[in-house]
Structure 1
Amino acid sequence: MSRRLRLVFAGTPEFAVAAFRSCLAADVDVVAAYTQPDRPAGRGRKLAASPVKEAALAAGIPVEQPETLRTREARARLAAWQPDLMVVVAYGLILSPRVLAIPQHGCWNVHASLLPRWRGAAPIQRAVLAGDVESGVGLMRMEEGLDTGPVLLERRTPIESSDTGGRLHDRLAALGAGVLGEGLARLVAGNLPEARAQHDDGVVYAHKLDKREAVLDWSEPAVALERRVRAFDPWPVAETTLAGERVRIWSAAVPAMRNTAQPGAVIAVGPDGIDVSTGDGVLRLVEIQRDGGKRMRVRDWLNARPDLAATLGVRR
């Protein structure tokens, strides 16, 4: 290219920060960062800046926070930055065809799944919930449809049996930054690969997480419940009711045990955990959190509540 490429970055949550920094490290000029308006957060509900805004301000990059990009004024403001490329990572706004057409090289998106599987809002957690053995990130050219664009580059990673939503999130964020950095380098060098169109078969949508999904349904198999515990760490966190109180479940296991009790029945309590009957097998609750309390191992809860086993109706 005869001049340095002008890039506008659009992203909001922590997942997008590594990709933003990858843009800063590339041989391009990041001229502006778009992110969601400040939102109330925390117990005090004070307005808080997004992680991308904080990273942009720290890097001295101008920040734009429009409520929408659908107005003529918003599009004119974007065009005024004269972007050659717009990179979008978990921004939170849908881009219309008019917006997609503003940059000379269009808009790229870093998506945390192996497209076309898990298009949509929560691909990381849905992959863990479904028991997928592999995930990854794709760098794609954006189209009007939801995550339907052709894929330029892709990187893969196995989903380990110990992976939580948070661990996979962090690994995919790093992979996303890497694949974006490679894409930018190849664009600048003029050897960008031909994009691969997505197939119509294999499309699965990753619907937005709902806190109601966090309540464990003991009629489900133990293996599915254990995946739910891992997928919903760190948010919204799996939960159930034990000894008459709401308890969040941070860690669980599936012991090799035969079980004939009704789903939801506590069948054993010990230092290794609380064993609960499920629709198929037993789920052992290992790390929990009571309302207003801290995360703790079940053995520590038992030390604080010596009456817990009797309260749950079992012998230690």
Structure 2
Amino acid sequence: RPFDLLGESKGGFQGSGAVLVCREVFWDFPTLGVTMEPIPPVSSTASPQHGEPVTKTGSDGGIRSGSSCASRASSSGQTTLATVHDKYTLTEQVIGVGPEISVVKRAVQRHSGKHVAVKTIAKDKCTERVRVVVTREVSVGKSLAPHPNIVPIYEVFESTRSVYLVMEEADCDLCDLLEERGPLCEEDAAGLFIQIATGLDAMHRMGFVHRDVKPENILITNGAMAKICDFGLCKSFDPALPDSANPLKTVCGSRLYMAPEVLLGKPYSKACDVWGAAIVLCIMLTNAPPFDPALSPPLLVEAIASYRYELAGAAWEDVS
């Protein structure tokens, strides 16, 4: 496992009692009267469930590809949209579960034997808000250029019941790693933090703000590589313009990791990702956030907005 390659020096992977602090995703649309920006549907054509083929014929009798699914030609000149099951063998090994509507399982590409992860999203459980988030994740994930610190989305399939995202396989996310091993030594935390910062910088240069940086959205792969994932709250912007010309307004993210200006409903920029990454660094070093997660939502927002935190106490004794 990748984190076995990391050190176990003093202050490193020792002890237990990890604090679970990053499972909540927060939208405050009704209160602030803002909405997620509209984007197009995942695709205009849905392929059938496995075992329910649908065929399409192009105007010239040849192949016409579906917008979100691979296709293959039949002997009659028609095109059958390939399902995820045609190209991948999905195992029953669950490696991640989303909030009620999604599950991530290990899978194997049939022709190559390559191991991947397949995120299955149940369409009948998607609210309009969730549909926007899922569509955004697909759109951004397919738009991002390849980068060693960003999880790629290889393919997207859509059936009458589900959307399938085929992604790079990881061993765990950073949240699971910290739950199992406890706080990291400074050397290991610095190594992962540099990779997280590098991935975010690449996203910003490509014109995307992540807006939900937290341990759960950082995957750990072979060789202790950190990779940013989950692009459902991303927003595009023009990186050639100054931040003042690209104000973001939607209040979204995970409350414990949201920058003060975001929580207060003020215009913000890609700097919100830097704030989130700094909170992640504190958690990697101490297994606890700088703000008390036990506070009620109003008090937590007040503490973050007033920068009321302390980098002190027993958890910080081994941190230089």
Please, what TM-score do these two structures have when normalized by structure 1? 0.26
> Which fold has the larger relative contact order, with Cα–Cα distance below 8 Å and residues 6 or more apart in sequence?
2
What TM-score do you get using the length of structure 2 for normalisation? 0.26
